[in-house]
Amino acid sequence: MMEVIPSIDLKGGRCVRLYQGDYAKETVFSDDPLGTAQRWESLGATRLHVVDLDGAASGEPHHLSVIAHMTATIRIPVQVGGGIRRMETIEQYVKAGVKRVVLGTAAVENPRLIEEACQVFGEAIVLGVDARDGFVAVRGWKDRTSVLAADMIEQMEALGAKRFIYTDVARDGTLTEPNFQAISELMTKTRAPIIASGGVTSVDHLVRLSQLGVEGAIIGRALYTGDILLDKAMAALKEEAPDSSRRATKDGGPC
């Protein structure tokens, strides 16, 4: 069954959601990141996606202690992204109990880091491909590059990347719908697992993503607004097509 992954975006110590990646358009949903993590775990989440938005903008981790407390308290695995551009930072997160470390900007600006990180940490490294109009966006989504998302995936696979998170920045936080066409096209470019993010607003969206064969779907604003109820969404996916995904999870599922 496709994994449904709640997102916790941290900014200034609080759980927020941005609109289309715009740091000036944030909505605060909670002042208690740990309580939020425990809530999603209690509703059946098998993994959490945590983004250090301050870290993404600055290039240095801002919420390491908060995330370490989270991993020490909850039982499900946590994957973290945002401003991770050095081996030392990856090591800090792994030591803090993070199961997957998501690299984005580093993939464009320092491909050698990606190669080294994949060699050292293997499946713990995930490549975040964040795109506007098909082109990769970096540094907290503020800067658009001339690199196509599909080309980046091909380049990073050659360097050892085994898993990707694809986010359509224009859909993120908008409560519209995922960019199904872009996701479908990317699925034809790689056999590596892809996790979809951005614009997931309904159970129907989740079912459609599952039918495309993505490994997982990250949900943010729709969970906080109640447009998607996590436990009901997971039940619907299980009933719809428990074995429909064409890709097996390479790390054996939740770790």
Which amino acids are annotated catalytic? 9, 130
Per the structure block, which two tokens stand in for 96? 């803090």
CA distance 23 to 26: 6
Work out the burial of residue 242: count CB atoms within 10 Å of its CB; fewer than 13 is exposed, 13-18 middle, 19 or more buried: exposed
Residue 182 phi/psi, 5° resolution? -65, -40
Bridging pattern class, strands 135-138 and 125-132? antiparallel
Per the structure block, which two tokens stand in for 139? 């540094």
| b/e map 178-204, b = 16+ CB within 10 Å | bbbebbeebbeeeebbbbbbbbbbebe
| Dihedral sign (CA 140, 142, 148, 151) | negative
